[in-house]
Structure formats: structure tokens, C-alpha cells
Amino acid sequence: MASAPTATVSIGVQPEYTRLAFQFEAPTTVTPLLQGNRLDLRFSRAADIDIAELRSTPPPLVREVRRVSAAGAPVRLQLVLDGGVRQRQFVDGNRVVVDLLPPEGGVDTTVADNQAPAPAPGHAPVSGTAHVGLVEAANDTRISVTWPAPARAAAFRRGEAIWLVFDATGRIDLAGVARVGRRHQDVQVVQGEGVIGLRIPAPPDVLVSAFAQDNTWTFTLGSHAGVSTAAPLAREVNAEGQGRLTARFGREGTVRWIRDPEIGDRIAVALIGGPARGIDTRRATLEAAVLPAAHGAVVEPRADGVTVAFDDGVMTVSRGDGLIAAAAPAQSDLEAGLSSALMDDALGGAPLASRQNANLAQVREHIDLLLRRAAEEGVREGAPVEARMALARYLLENELAPEALGALRIVAINQGELVEIDPEYRLLRGAANVMMGRLSAAQADLSASALVNNPSAALWRGYAAAQRQDWSEARRELERGAGGLEEHPPGWRARFEMALAQAAIELNDYAAAEAAARAASAQAPDQTLRLQARLIEARLANARGDATRALTMLDELSHVRDEETAVRARVEAIRIRRASGVMRPIDAVEPLEALRFRWRGNSTELAIVGMLGEAYSELGRWREALATMRIAADRFPNDPAARHLRADMSTLFERLFLDGEADRLEPIQALGLFYEFSDLTPVGPNGDRIVRLLSGRLVHVDLLEQAAQLLQHQVDERLEGQSKAQVAADLAAIYLMDHKPDRALVALASSRQPNMPQLLLADRRILEARALLELGRLDGAAELVERDRSEDAQRVRAEAAWRARDWPRAAAELRTLIGMRDRAQPLDKSGRQAVLRAGVALTLAGDEAGVRALYRDFAGDMANTDEADAFEMVAAGIQADGAAIRDVARAVARTDLLDRFMQRQRARMTEEAAAAAEAQAQGGPAAPAPGAPMPAPPAPPAEAALPAPNARNTPQAGA
């Protein structure tokens, strides 16, 4: 069949219908077949039709589009529609129009729900092996899981991972899919009783959507979630105060329990069949929480005795007799349990230090009372806010910062002017934000003009600066706020003193650090804070040079029951031992890896990862070092320690590719490492030198295609002026070595610049002539160097005449080339080959006198060489056997007159890489290199980062 015509599809959306217009190059008809919610469009003509936009963003009424016809066959498309959608079509010349109309009375959800029927009630889990497929598009990742039979499923996010769970037993065959492309980390199989699934770590902005078809579930991970129907979620409370949470899915399902390998707790998962139907909002009580889910539901129990059941299409969460949302006791009973003094203190805003001895039950009772008093104030504009401010103060006193912010938000609704004019409001809000780690949000409040001279505000500003590791600012503000310490509870007084001690240590003021650490230890109301103060004292001992005492204290602290203090003490002990040389890098890896998984979160994890990356780099395990550091830096993008970690990564990358550490690796390993972490390449001269070094090393080992990839991006995207012309010349030389003369011409033509240096211009001219010779454009090559009198240009002219079989002209050009040599020096191999060629050309031209003259001139030079026998045969003249002459001609034709020029180009590109490798092998510094500023190229697409070299790129073939 002749090549198929092309066709396009355009989409139009109107309130009454969705129009798909297919434009062909010739008249075409269509035969539609609508069965249920599947529309099969069979066109009468074959075409190369582009439906990428239609597939990636289906229009209204369309769920999925795919092409089911083979290449060269008439086009056949299959559309999955919403339930009850109707269609009509007509033909207008070369255009075929298909209109999709909504069903009578709206979308038929019954039909839609039957698209992938749920398993029957009481259906046992599917048994067998599931096969996983992966397709990574530009903006999303699609994962398909196919079971032997239709299986119920659930898809949701919990913490830092996406969960895809199935009502099945058996195994999931990842078939080599150990990683989900470059966007997500390792896929983990999780199992429970009668349930199995995949857990995929993913950034918080990654959403998941689900789609079921027959035995296959397809999940899309991307920045946008697909359309799914939300199940109504409600809290039901009866007259006795017994409550429960219910989610009405309207189809059968089951509940399975599974353990989270990251957290260690058990969660309940409600699994249902397709189509997608999930929970769109989070609902929580004191005993359990229902999390949002793209499909199905997930329940986190927070107390013993929580039950989750699925019956008649409804998921029910309850506890015991249903006491999830018990009604509050009567106000009079609660008020009777509180003294009038406590009431006055709550509403009067007494100092925070005055209510530290209340137990948990009293705190809850007090909060309940304040909540009812605040509710009586209402939320109308101009309503009083005294009770709500008292509630915010009390919540903040008990470190319930999110709840305090909620109370303050209602205060701003009642009396918005307080946000700007009331110092207490801004202090409370700023302190709450600092407690939550929202330092940027707190800065605006704590720096307000009304709080500039407030000691308490200074304390909170200093504490926030310590969290940002701005030690000078932290010390200045904490010392300014010393007069306000007594206004805060002992716990926060201890924290402020510890922050001051840390700042003083970082600023090398050990006397002030010791005084603050002792004050923190004296103020600490509990063992946790006292242990943290003890940890600061150990750091102070090491800073003063007493490493033995510091290690003794740290080893003791590493065995305490407080997990955070124990981990931080262990990390500090490893740091001291590594700095003193007592612990080798190989000995530090195992304990640091254990600590990395023992503690997650905040700057402690970043410190662990930084030390682990340093140990890996000292051991030469570069990829593990960079990958480990990147994971932690990406998890905490705004943490000050993450900035230091990213700086360490950039320094390590420069050590690898700039200082020659990567020369210890195999070239293909170095290339893979560069591609994976190319975003760390510095901008400017150093970045240029890294790219040039790496490409030169690849050329040195005949990995020409990979070297060309690096330089091609520089020429296309990054460089201008003479730098672009020089790099393009190197790129053209690589293409010629790789037998790609057409691409060499493109590289040279796209990089022409005015006023180029003569040496560069001459090299580019010879490269272009060589490319023309390879393409058979012999006259063009000769014309290009017509006025060039250099030896390289003469070789081009001689090669062009030889390939044109113009033997008289070839003989003349070769005699001219031979005459350009230094007559005081004997003929080298290249010269002897030129003489042999000249003899063949003269013989084939029938110039017997010329042959004799050539023999007289060069018989001595050719004697006792590898070419002596061939030269004697050619010197026999036109009487020599014709077959023998042809054999000699074929032999010399395999030589390359321009080989010397190409070898010179290759040496120029590789000499820097070779010098760096030699210097690294001898333990010396890498050789310096010139270079214009060149930012690094982006990493290549996943799964194609290292294209396999062909036979011409291997060292054997290149030789």
C-alpha cells in the first residue's frame, strides 16, 4: 500500500454537545457502533492520525480514547463515553463529524456504574498473579494492574506515598518495574490478610486517579486528578449521643486491614469495584479519621475498639456501641465542676505560668467551657471577642497552636481591626505560627511596629531565627527579650535558653553558651528538655576541645528513652569520631544508614544524610552519595540545612567532573552519573569545562554518539558567537568520526559566525570539505578549498580527484601534495601512501614516463618499507598485470588522505581528558582547560539516558 495520508482531529465543546471533527486528505466515511458506553468508529480510509490531544485531555462526555487499528489499515477508534451518551455523525467533503450528545435527563449513573461491575456480595478475594505496566508521559505516570478476574480496589494518599490496594491474594509481578520512571522512588509491595497493593512514595503535589476496565485497573499519577464521583460522608448522632461516620458508596464492597510499613500502624481500607468513587474530604473524630481517597476509602483508627464495616453499599465507622461523637455534657454540670476562680482566670487572661499544674482531664474541661463561651459570642461582625481571645491564650499555653490559630481567625472575623491594632493578637498569632514551624508567616506579626520593643516578641523572633539558623539574629533577639522570660511557662523558658546556647556555640562564645545551657537545664520542667540541655552541654565540651568528655556524655545520651535526643546524640558522636579520625568512612556507613531510617524529619535527618553522603564520597560510591543527599534535600526544600546540603552536592559534583574524581570510573558510568545529576552542573566556565572534559573522554574511548549528544545541546541551546563556532567544529569532527557527514554539515552551517579566527575558519573549512567528500559531492569539496594552499586543503583536492577517477588530475594533485613535504626528512607512512597512490594514478592514466620519474625520485625512500613490494609492482608501469594494479589500487583506496587532520582534531579534543586522567592516576591535580561559559545540558528522557553505541562506536570498530 502507498503511504497513508495524514489526518487530524479537532474538538469543539458546546453546552448541547461535544463535537469531534476528523479531517482527511480525501473523502472518507465512518461507520459508528455504539454498545453501552463504548463507541466504535470505523473509518473507510487508512491515515496517520494524531489523537494525542484527544487522549491526554478527553473532552466532556468522553472518558478514554484509543486507536485499535493496525498501521496501514483503515482507521478504527474506540471511545469510552459517560453512561447514556448518544451520538450522531455526518460527512462534509473530506471532513467526518461525530457529535456526542448527553443522555436524556443528564448522565445515566446507573449505566456508568455498570461499566466495570463490582464483585458480587460475599465475593472472595481474587487469587493469582497481577501484572504491572508502566507508561510515563510528559506530565503524568500511568500504572496499569491486571488481575485474572475483576478485583475491588482503593487508591489514596497517606503521608508521603500513594497507595494502590486490591482485594486479592497472591502476588504482584512488577516485571522489572523497580522504579516509577524518574518521578517517583522505589515501588513497594504491601500485604495484609486478603489484601495486597503497591505503595509508591510521591511528592505532596502528586495526585492519583483511578479507572477500571474489565480485569485491569489504570491509575494516573500527576498534578491533576481525574474526574471521580464522591461518596457522601456524614456523621450521624442519635438522641443518646451515640454517633458514627458513614460513607454511602451505593455499591458493594469490603473492608480489609493492612499495616503501614512506614508508620507501623494498621489502617482499614474499603475496597470497591469501578468506576472511580471515593472520598473528597477528610473527616475526623477523637477515635478515628477518614482520609480523602480517589477510589474507595481509608480509615485511621486512633483508639482501641474502632470497627469499620461495609454493608448494603455503606461504609460505617464506629466504636463499641457507636460512641464516636458523644454529646457534650450539660453546661451547668461542667460549670459546677469548675471553681469561679478558674472561670475568672480563664476569661481574664492571667499569665501563662499560672496554670501549669492542671491534669489532662482538667485541661479538656477548661477547653470545652471556653469553647462554649466563645460560641456564645457568635461570628457576626462587631461581636465581642473576649472569650475567644481567652480561648486562644489557653490553647497556646497548652501548645495547641493550630487550634489557637483557628480561634484567632474567628476573632479577626468579629473585629477585623484587631489584626492591625492589637499587639496581643499579633503576638499570639506570631507565637502560634512559630510553634507550627511557619516561620515566614510569623515574621510579619512579630516584626510589627507595635511589638518592636516587646520582650516576649523579641524572644519569639530570636527563637524563629534560631530555627532558620541565623545565629547572629537569634542571639541578638533572645538577649533583648531576656526580661520577658518570666512571662512564659518553664518549658518555653528552657527552649529559649537552649536556642541562645546553640547560637552562642555557633558564634564561638562558649562562656555565654555554658550559662544559657545551665539556665535551660534548671528551667526544664520535664526529662525531655533536660536531656536536650545535656546534649548542648556535650556539644559545648567538644567545642572547648574536650572530645573525650563530650563522647562520654553523648554515648550516655544515645541510650536514653527519648528517641529524638538519643538519635541526635548518636549523630553528634559519629561526627566527632569522624572529625578526629577515630572512625573510618566504611565504619560510619552502617550506623548512619540505620539512623537515617530510625529518624525522619527536621534538620536531624539532613545532618545524618549529609554525613552519610560525605562517607559515601570518601569511599568512591558517588551515585549513592548524591542520590542520598538529593532525597533529603528534596524532602525539605525550605530548611536552611537543605541549602547547605545542596551546596555540598554541587561541590561533590564539581569534584567528580572538574577535579577528575570521575576519571576513576568507566566512561559509560561517568556519563550515566552526569546525566542523572546534570542539574548540579555549575553555570559558567566551570560548567563548560565539565562538559568539554566529559565529551573529550567519551571521544577518547570511541563513545562518539554520547559525546555528540553533550555538544549538540550546547550548540543548539546555550552558546553564541565564536564559542558556538568552536564547539560546533568539535561536534562536526565527532560526527565525521561516527560516519555521519550530513549531521556534520548541519552543525557547521548552523554555527557560522562573522570575524572568526583564521585557524578556526580553516579547520571548519576542511571539516566541511571532508563531509562533502563523504556525501559524494566531490566538486563542491574541491571548490570549497580552491584558494586554500595548506597541506590539508591539498589533501582534499587530491582525495576529490581520486574518488572522481580522474587519474591524470589525481596524479598531479598527489605530486603536488608530496612536494609540500620537508625534503630533509624521510617519508613517513602518510607520505609513502601518497607516493603509492600517485604511482597507481599515473599507471591508470597511462603515463609511463611519469611512473618512471616517480620511481627515480622515491625508490630509495620506499625501499625496505611495508609499501616496497606494492611500489615495485606499480613501478613496472603500464606493462604490469592489470589485476595486480587493481589490487594495489583497492588497498591504497582504503587509506584516508585526511586521516592526519582527523587524528589532530581528535587529539585536540581528548588531550585535556587524557591529561586529567593521567594526573588523577598519579595523584596530582587535573589539567586546567580553557572554555567559554556553557551551562549544563538537561538530563535526557528517562529510559533513554544512555543510548547504546552502534558497531561504529565501539573501540574495535573505530580502530
- Residue 943: predicted pLDDT: 34
Q: What is the 3-state secondary structure (H, E, C) of 838-873?
A: HHHHHHHHCCHHHHHHHHHHHHHHHCCCCCHHHHHH
Helix axes 563-580, 602-618, angle to 10 degrees: 30
> Averaged over 704-727, what is the pLDDT?
80
Among 31-45, 100-114, 853-867, the least confident range: 100-114
pLDDT-derived band at 956 (thresholds 50, 70, 90) equals very low
CB 942 within 8 A of CB 136: yes
Over range 408-435, report the average pLDDT.
85
Cell match 567545642: residue? 543
Average pLDDT over residues 13-18: 81
Alpha-carbon Rg for the chain, nearest whole angstrom, is: 39
According to the per-residue pLDDT averaged within each range, which of 11-15, 228-232, 404-408, 526-530 is highest? 404-408
* The CA-based dihedral angle spanning residues 815, 820, 822, 827, taken in that order and rounded to the nearest 10 degrees: -40
What confidence category does residue 163 fall into, taking pLDDT thresholds of 50, 70 and 90? very high
Within 10 Å of residue 224's Cβ, how many Cβ atoms? 10
Q: Is the pLDDT of residue 916 over 60?
A: no
C-alpha closest to that of 891 among 828, 837, 958, 813: 837
For the ranges 185-199, 471-485, 513-527, 657-671, the lowest mean pLDDT is seen at 657-671
pLDDT of residue 257: 92
* Rounded Cα distance, 252 and 276, in Å: 13
Q: Is the pLDDT of residue 298 over 90?
A: yes
Query: What confidence tens digit (pLDDT) does each residue in 461-505 have?
Result: 999 999 888 889 999 999 888 888 878 888 888 899 999 998 998
pLDDT, residue 912, reads: 59
Which pLDDT band, with edges at 50, 70 and 90, does 180 fall under?
very low
pTM above 0.75, yes or no: no
Cα dihedral: 733, 738, 740, 745 (round 10): -10
Helix (H) or strand (E) holding 301: strand 297-301
E strand map for 44-101: 48-49, 62-67, 76-81, 86-92, 95-101
- Phi, psi at residue 142, to the nearest 5°? -110, 125
**Minimum mean pLDDT range among 49-53, 438-442, 783-787, 918-922:** 918-922
In contact, 465 and 436? CB cutoff 8 Å = no
Q: Which residue has the higher pLDDT, 846 or 506?
A: 506
pLDDT tens-digit map of 833-892: 888 788 888 887 878 888 888 878 887 777 787 777 777 777 765 454 566 666 777 776
| 438 dihedral zone (left: phi>0; alpha: psi -120 to 50; beta) | beta
The proportion of the chain whose per-residue pLDDT surpasses 90, expressed as a percent, equals: 9
Phi and psi torsions of 349, nearest 5°: 75, 50
Question: What's the rounded Cα separation, in Å, for the pair 958 and 234?
Answer: 72
Q: How far apart are CA 231 and CA 288, in angstroms?
A: 18
Long-range contacts of 59-67 (CB under 8 A, 24+ apart): 59/11, 59/13, 59/18, 59/20, 60/13, 60/18, 61/18, 61/85, 61/100, 61/101, 61/102, 62/18, 62/100, 63/37, 63/211, 64/211, 64/213
Q: Which of 357, 390, 607, 382 is nearest to 489 (CA)?
A: 357
pLDDT at 459: 92
Q: Is the pLDDT of residue 934 over 80?
A: no
Q: Is the dihedral of CA 24, 30, 33, 37 positive or negative?
A: positive
Band (pLDDT 50/70/90 cuts) for residue 321 is: low
- Whether the per-residue pLDDT at 452 is higher than 80: the answer is yes
**Is the N-terminal amide bond of 754 cis, ω within 30° of 0?**
no
What's residue 920's pLDDT?
45
Where residue 229 falls among pLDDT bands split at 50, 70, 90?
A: confident
- Name the residue with cell 472575623: 413
pLDDT greater at residue 452 or residue 123: 452
Please state whether beta strands 76-81 and 62-67 pair in parallel, antiparallel, or not at all (unpaired).
antiparallel
- As a whole number, mean pLDDT of residues 105-128 equals 49
Report percent pLDDT > 70 for the chain.
79
- Predicted pLDDT at 584: 87
pLDDT in tens, 275-286: 889 998 778 777
Strand partners of residue 308: 317
Per-residue pLDDT reduced to its tens digit, 743-770: 888 888 888 888 888 888 888 888 888 8
Reported as a single tens digit per residue, the pLDDT across 637-657 is: 666 666 666 777 677 777 776
Strand pairing category for 207-213 and 216-222:
antiparallel
Share the mean pLDDT of the chain: 77
Q: What is the pLDDT of residue 750?
A: 85
The span from the CA of 466 to the CA of 502, in Å, is 8
Nearest Cα to Cα of residue 682 among 724, 706, 646, 709: 646
Which set of grid coordinates corresponds to residue 190? Answer: 504491601
| C-alpha 286: how far from chain center | 37
